[in-house]
Amino acid sequence: MPKECATETAVLHVLDEVGASARRQKVAEFDAYAICTRTRRVTVERESVSSADSIMATGLHVRVCVDGKVGGASCNEFDRRATAECIDHAVRIANLMESDKRWSGFPSSSKKYPSVSGLYDTSVASLDVPVMSMMAEEMVDGARSVSKDVSAPYGAVESTGRTVGVTNSSGMRSVMSETELQALICCVAGSGESISPDCEESGQSRSCDLRVDKIGERAGWIAEKSTHIMDAKTEECDVVFSPMSLGAGSDGLLNVVLSEAFSGQNTHQGISFLSGRLGEPIWSEHVTINDNPLLSGRCGSRPFDDEGVAAQKTRLVNKGTLVGYVWDSYHGSVSGEGSTGNAVRDLSSGTVGAAPLCLQVMPDRGSMKSLIESVDHGYLVWGCQGSHTSNTETGGFSFVASPGLLIKNGEVVGGVRGSMVSGNVTDLMKNVERVGADVVDFGSALMPSILFRNVKITTG
């Protein structure tokens, strides 16, 4: 049986089992989310492939509502006993809760799902360890081709096949399968005082079209450039941010801050700096942002959200004017806005909240190189060290540009050390001068490089 069918069958089976178990336990209102993932990974350590991993993982999260009281439970096994225990615990938890007068039920399956193509590629699902091992070596060779001074302390190539399913007592029953290929490398160059910072570069795709050699080359290029140490000064100047520094999932500045700020749940509760500002021109007119999970073959694309509600394209910022937030069904109902198909479920904590599925900063024109060429004096931020400590409620940030590079007369001339970049996302986005066309897919964001004016740089 093809792997896709096997995981789909497993997910559909457990969703049916939840329905049957709920009926047996006389639970009228329930919803369930099931996920089955197969991951293969090869790891690079000290320029060589060092290990191979094979990981099968399943997860089930169940919510029940008893007289307006909602409880949840999750487990990592798909058998009948585990499913029944999950529902039983969810009911026990629900009975401890107070009735939620704002509860309006689990969403119904009234809206037809959009057609989203290119989510599953059998060539990714069937990638084996020897091929992935060669890809990892190709990536390291790409980095080393820049200079023999470049080394790659770690890296990884990972292929994932995943099936996700949702069901509920309002008639929802949806399943999708997807694949993802990811490659990551960290390069350093130099030694002693001239040693570069960790220069990471990554790529991800639904298919096998990743140019792993180019990923290695870019990381190697930044590491090599960073060894030529230049002086930075405390000033306000032009700064080009790379797609990675803005869009990476864990530490891309805009991805980290805006994913929380556009959440309808947070704006409704007043813990987002975008609360109450709909219709206002808040940012530069060069900025247009969508949440767009409908694009073909993108890693953040999907036909439905984690509650099974149809995904949709939602305009968030139009030429600098704030025009929308994203909503899950509960908070969309409480606010009167309705769901935008943006429920995101955390299997560990059991929370279901609202967040963008794929934050799309609309590209304009030119590559990052052309943005750099338009700067007489400024900096290139390739990575944001500490951007995860940004305050997502206020939009405040203060991180180290690492790697950070000096731009002189339209060229990157060398690396800077310990240069801090601080401010507030609102002020930063008012100062967008140009948006590039070099969009990179980070899964949760589609991000080009951006040139900002008047960015505060601080040095020691």
Partner 1 sequence: MSVLLDPLVKAVRSRVVSGLDYVELRADDVVETSIELRESSIESVTRRFECGHSARILKSGRWGFAVSDGMRDVSETITEAVKAARALSRTAVSDTSLHGVKPVKMDVPSKARIPLNEVDLAEKVSYLTSICRNATKADRRMTTTKASYSDITGDRVLVTSEGTEVRQSLSHAYLKTSASGNTSGRLVSARDEIGTVTRGWERFTEDGSGDKIVERLARKARLQMDGVSCKRGTHPCVISPKVSGMLAHEALGHLSEADLFAAGAFNGLEGARVASEVVTMVDSPWIEDGFGNITADDEGVLPKTVILIDKGLIGAQMTNREWATRLGIEPTGNARAQSYRVPPLIRMRNTYFERGDVSLDEMLEDKKFGYYCVDVSGGQAESNSSFQVSIQECYEIVKGELGRPVRSLAISGVATKSLALIDGVGKDFDFESSYCGKLLQAMPTSDGGPHLSFKKGGVVFGGSA
Binding residues among 59-118 for partner 1 as defined by CB under 8 A: 61, 70-77, 82, 85-86, 89-90, 93, 96-98
225's CB contacts (< 8 A; 6+ apart) are 403, 405, 412, 414, 415
Instruction: Tell me if 130 contacts partner 1 by CB under 8 A.
Output: yes
How far apart (Å, rounded) are the C-alpha atoms in residues 409 and 276? 42
Q: List binders of partner 1 among 314-343 (CB under 8 A).
A: none
Instruction: Tell me if 413 contacts partner 1 by CB under 8 A.
Output: no
Nearer to partner 1, 70 or 239 (CB): 70
Helices (H), 360-412: 368-373
Contact predicate 291/423, CB 8 Å = no
Contact predicate 454/236, CB 8 Å = yes
Nearer to partner 1, 62 or 439 (CB): 62
How far apart (Å, rounded) are the C-alpha atoms in residues 6 and 212? 30
Helix (H, G, I), strand (E, B) or coil at 125: helix
Q: List binders of partner 1 among 176-235 (CB under 8 A).
A: 188, 191-193, 195-198, 234
Q: Compute CA 295 distance to the chain's CA centroid, rounded to the nearest angstrom.
A: 15
Task: Give the tokens for residue 62.
Answer: 């169940």
Nearer to partner 1, 117 or 269 (CB): 269
Instruction: Tell me if 141 contacts partner 1 by CB under 8 A.
Output: no
Nearer to partner 1, 93 or 405 (CB): 93
Q: List binders of partner 1 among 239-278 (CB under 8 A).
A: 251, 269-271, 273
Instruction: Tell me if 282 contacts partner 1 by CB under 8 A.
Output: no
Identified binder of partner 1 from the candidate list 25, 133, 147, 335, rule CB under 8 A: 133
User: What is the longest distance spanned by two Cα atoms in the chain?
Assistant: 73
| Residue 75 CB, nearest approach to partner 1 (Å) | 4
Q: What is the Cα Rg of the chain in Å?
A: 23
| Residue 289 CB, nearest approach to partner 1 (Å) | 21
How far apart (Å, rounded) are the C-alpha atoms in residues 444 and 446? 7
Instruction: Tell me if 142 contacts partner 1 by CB under 8 A.
Output: no
* Residue 359: φ, ψ to 5°: -75, 115
How far apart (Å, rounded) are the C-alpha atoms in residues 449 and 282? 20
| Residue 113 CB, nearest approach to partner 1 (Å) | 26
Identified binder of partner 1 from the candidate list 1, 26, 54, 112, rule CB under 8 A: 54
Identified binder of partner 1 from the candidate list 1, 112, 348, 409, rule CB under 8 A: 348
Nearer to partner 1, 439 or 452 (CB): 452
Instruction: Tell me if 9 contacts partner 1 by CB under 8 A.
Output: no
Q: Torsion angle, CA of 270/339/344/446, rounded to 10 degrees? A: -90
